[in-house]
Each structure stands twice: as structure tokens, then as C-alpha cells.
């Protein structure tokens, strides 16, 4: 329906005690409000599309340690519906400790500080779940989406990022993990230090997976590990 059609339709409604000039002025105000809403919607759409590009700039150029902000989160004993729908519940339903969920909406990037002071940049449309406190046995977090991790070294407690079908074990490093629930590709890309990637036997069927350990100072193995579900 065009603006002219809308105006004519409005004129055909029950008459108000307004002359045609006042009616036209009121209608112009309505149109301005419509234009404003349309502009906001277009800006949001463009922001959503550019989210990945912005995230990669932040991941490369931002000083995570200096700029990290501790996010206010919700501690809970059961997994939220959002996390459940992303397939994370199967990983953590037996966890005996309180869990904390960090999430981002479309177009949003979030910086998070974990209980061990490790830093995370969480990309748009992602969910990260971790224990409220890491125990002595290790440090495990669960990711659906994409994030850059800058992990605090702790030789006594391994740091593992678990996704739908790829687990990434950290050896004191900075790296990126991409594991969106609507994508068949799960990948880990090394930024600094060393990581090992292992196929998650409890995950979806895998057509191709690269297992191994990478340290750029010691080997020439490719720094990207990937697992593609069938």
C-alpha cells in the first residue's frame, strides 16, 4: 500500500472534527514516525550483516587484557532454554555445580572474564557456558557460536572448550573457536601458543576431522583444526 493509498483509506474512516489541513498535518506526523521506524530497522539489518567483520577486527586489534570488562551474568543450576535449544544441554546435564551463561544477540560482541581470569571475546549469536567456579580437576567450558579465548596458564588444570563435535584443549594460548549450531563446520584457529583438537566421540557423525597438536615454534602443522559433520 502506497502513502497515497494509506492517506485515502484514512480519509474514508469515521470523520473526526478536523479540517482537511489539520488532517494532512496529523498524517504527515504519522509518516515521519513510520520513516523513523523503517530507518532503525534498516540500520539494525546492516549492523547484523557486518557483525562478523567487526568481530574479526576486534579479535585482531583489540588488547583483550587491557580492555576486558567483567560482564554481569546469571548463575543458575539448570540450563536455560536458549542454551538447550543450541544443543549444549547434552554436554552439561550431569554437571553438579552451578553454571553461568554468557550470550550475545545478533550484531552484539561481548567481552567476558572467566572465573580463572581467562578472557573471552564472544561473537554475535553465540552462547558460552562455564562453571561458576572451576574445580581442581580442570577447566571446561561449552560453546555454541564463535569466540576468541585468551587463556590464563595453569599447568595443574587443563582448559578445554567443548563444542558439538570438536573439543579444543589449551596449552597456554590464544585461539578462536567457531561452532555455530546452524553450521556443519566446527573449527579452531590458533592465534598464539599451542592447542590440541580432538574429535568429540559423543557428537554428531563426522565425515572429516583433523586431530593433533600445534605449536608454531616447533612444527609446521597447519594452525587450523576443523570437524565437519555428515
Phi/psi of residue 7, nearest 5 degrees? -65, -45
Please check whether residues 110 and 32 belong to one and the same domain.
no
Q: pLDDT-based confidence at 154, cuts 50/70/90?
A: confident
Between 89 and 130, the higher pLDDT residue: 130
Query: Residue 214: its pLDDT value, please?
Result: 43
Please check whether residues 38 and 62 belong to one and the same domain.
no
Residue 95, number of CB atoms within 10 A of its CB: 14
**Residue span of the structural domain in which 91 resides:** 51-229
DSSP string, 171-204: SS-EEEEEE-TT-SEEEEEEEES-EEEEE-TTSS
Phi/psi of residue 178, nearest 5 degrees? -120, 120
- Taking the C-alpha atoms of residue 187 and residue 199, their distance in angstroms, rounded to an integer, is 11
Q: Which three cell numbers stand for residue 170?
A: 589449551
Instruction: State the CATH number of the domain containing residue 138.
Output: 2.60.120.1440
Per the structure, the count of domains in the chain is: 2
Residue whose grid cell is 551474568: 73
Between 19 and 148, the higher pLDDT residue: 148
Please check whether residues 124 and 211 belong to one and the same domain.
yes
- Taking the C-alpha atoms of residue 185 and residue 12, their distance in angstroms, rounded to an integer, is 56
Q: pLDDT-based confidence at 150, cuts 50/70/90?
A: confident
Q: pLDDT-based confidence at 151, cuts 50/70/90?
A: confident
**pLDDT exceeds 70 at position 70:** no
Cβ–Cβ < 8 Å for 52, 124? yes
Please check whether residues 20 and 82 belong to one and the same domain.
no
Please check whether residues 63 and 29 belong to one and the same domain.
no
**pLDDT exceeds 70 at position 203:** no
pTM: 0.50
- Taking the C-alpha atoms of residue 219 and residue 213, their distance in angstroms, rounded to an integer, is 9
- Annotate 161-184 with b (16+ C-beta within 10 A) or e (fewer): bbbbbbbbbbbebbbbbbbbeeee
Q: 101-138: per-residue pLDDT in tens?
A: 899 988 899 999 999 999 998 988 889 998 888 888 88
Please check whether residues 18 and 62 belong to one and the same domain.
no
Please check whether residues 28 and 62 belong to one and the same domain.
no
- Taking the C-alpha atoms of residue 109 and residue 41, their distance in angstroms, rounded to an integer, is 19
Between 71 and 26, the higher pLDDT residue: 26
Q: pLDDT-based confidence at 221, cuts 50/70/90?
A: very low
Cβ–Cβ < 8 Å for 205, 230? yes
Please check whether residues 66 and 14 belong to one and the same domain.
no
Residue 150, number of CB atoms within 10 A of its CB: 20
Q: Which three cell numbers stand for residue 123?
A: 561473537
Please check whether residues 116 and 154 belong to one and the same domain.
yes
Amino acid at each position: 500500500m502506497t502513502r497515497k493509498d494509506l492517506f485515502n483509506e484514512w480519509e474514508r474512516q469515521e470523520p473526526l472534527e478536523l479540517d482537511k489541513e489539520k488532517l494532512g498535518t496529523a498524517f504527515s506526523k504519522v509518516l515521519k514516525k513510520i520513516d523513523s521506524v523503517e530507518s532503525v530497522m534498516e540500520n539494525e539489518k546492516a549492523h547484523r550483516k557486518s557483525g562478523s567483520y567487526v568481530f574479526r577486527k576486534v579479535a585482531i586489534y583489540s588488547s583483550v587484557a587491557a580492555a576486558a570488562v567483567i560482564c554481569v551474568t546469571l548463575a543458575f543450576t539448570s540450563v536455560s532454554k536458549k542454551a538447550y535449544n543450541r544443543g549444549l544441554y547434552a554436554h552439561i546435564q550431569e554437571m553438579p555445580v552451578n553454571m553461568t551463561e554468557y550470550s550475545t544477540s545478533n550484531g552484539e560482541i561481548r567481552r567476558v572474564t572467566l572465573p580463572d581470569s581467562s578472557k573471552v571475546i564472544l561473537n554475535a549469536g553465540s552462547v558460552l557456558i562455564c562453571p561458576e567456579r572451576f574445580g581442581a580437576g580442570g577447566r571446561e567450558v561449552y560453546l555454541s557460536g564463535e569466540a576468541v579465548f585468551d587463556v590464563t596458564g595453569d599447568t595443574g588444570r587443563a582448559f578445554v572448550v567443548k563444542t558439538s563435535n570438536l573439543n579444543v584443549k589449551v596449552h597456554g594460548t590464544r585461539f578462536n573457536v567457531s561452532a555455530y549450531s546452524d553450521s556443519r563446520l566446527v573449527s579452531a584457529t590458533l592465534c598464539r601458543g599451542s592447542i590440541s583438537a580432538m574429535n568429540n566421540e559423543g557428537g554428531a557423525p563426522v565425515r572429516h576431522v583433523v586431530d593433533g597438536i600445534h605449536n608454531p615454534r616447533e612444527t609446521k602443522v597447519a594452525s587450523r583444526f576443523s570437524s565437519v559433520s555428515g
